Amino acid sequence: MKLRILGCSGGIGGGAQTTAMLLDDDILIDAGTGVGNLSMDEMVKIDHIFVTHAHLDHIAFIPFLVDTVGCIRCKPITIHALQETLNILQEHLFNWHLWPDFTKIPDSRSPYMRYEMLSLGNRINLNGREITPLPANHVISAVGYQLDSGHASLVFTGDTTINHALWPIVNKIENLKYLVIESAFCNQKRDIAIRSKHLCPSLLAEELTKLERVAEIFITHLKPGEAEVTMREIQQGLARFNPRQLENNQLFEF
């Protein structure tokens, strides 16, 4: 498995792009503005999009991607998400008002896009690559994902705050190699992090006390303009974990 980071910021500007990750050449994990970094040839190959939740910074480029390549593909792009997330996409995005309903274009028998409901813990196997939705704790229904090649696993928490349900699952992953976890705010904005159900360095420190596995830890969803101070707080408070900032175009092989 190869996972390429297309976007991992909590905002845009100055080269920052919102969350999108390309697994091998045919699967997206979220589809934020980072998808815009792909070439046409790369976009055409995408068969699956696994969505963590329905906030715009994670789904903004699904409409543009499907609109751009739908007519030159021979099968629909499958959107995988919780039923609550699919409902939001159907009702508020692909509703003919904000964007066309590509599950009915050119017709419902041969659409450009289709939906596939996910359930927590229900493992999806795509040509030997196992993708498992993990619990997240956010202001709307959300998941993280375990990506398992068989040799090693990467866990992406998605947007989340204190999440007691996650760690017993993560601690059972014997081949865990990488943990990608968010910290959307600096400690000065801890109250905003709590109200918006994100993490800040002090909350992240509480979470990582629950991690019983050794893993390489990468921090995502840092806000532009606050990334340096947030990472400094994380590195000072969590030096024993050697946390690193996730970067655009970073490549994980596992």
pTM score, two decimals?
0.98
User: What span, in angstroms and rounded, lies between the C-alpha atoms of 95 and 97?
Assistant: 5
Sequence spans of domains, the chain? 2-253
Spell out the CATH class of 2-253.
alpha beta
Tokens of 196: 């918006």
Amino acid 62: pLDDT: 98
Place of tokens 């990468």: 218
How confident is residue 158, by pLDDT bands cut at 50, 70 and 90? very high
What are the pLDDT digits (tens) for 137-150? 999 999 999 999 99
Amino acid 17: pLDDT: 98
Amino acid, single-letter form, for residue 147:
L
User: What span, in angstroms and rounded, lies between the C-alpha atoms of 162 and 70?
Assistant: 39
What are the pLDDT digits (tens) for 48-86? 999 999 999 999 999 999 999 999 999 999 999 999 999
- Please check whether residue 32 is in contact with residue 57, taking contact to mean a CB–CB distance below 8 angstroms: yes
> CA angle, 82 as apex, 208 and 192 as ends, to 5°?
45
- Please check whether residue 238 is in contact with residue 201, taking contact to mean a CB–CB distance below 8 angstroms: yes
Amino acid, single-letter form, for residue 69:
V
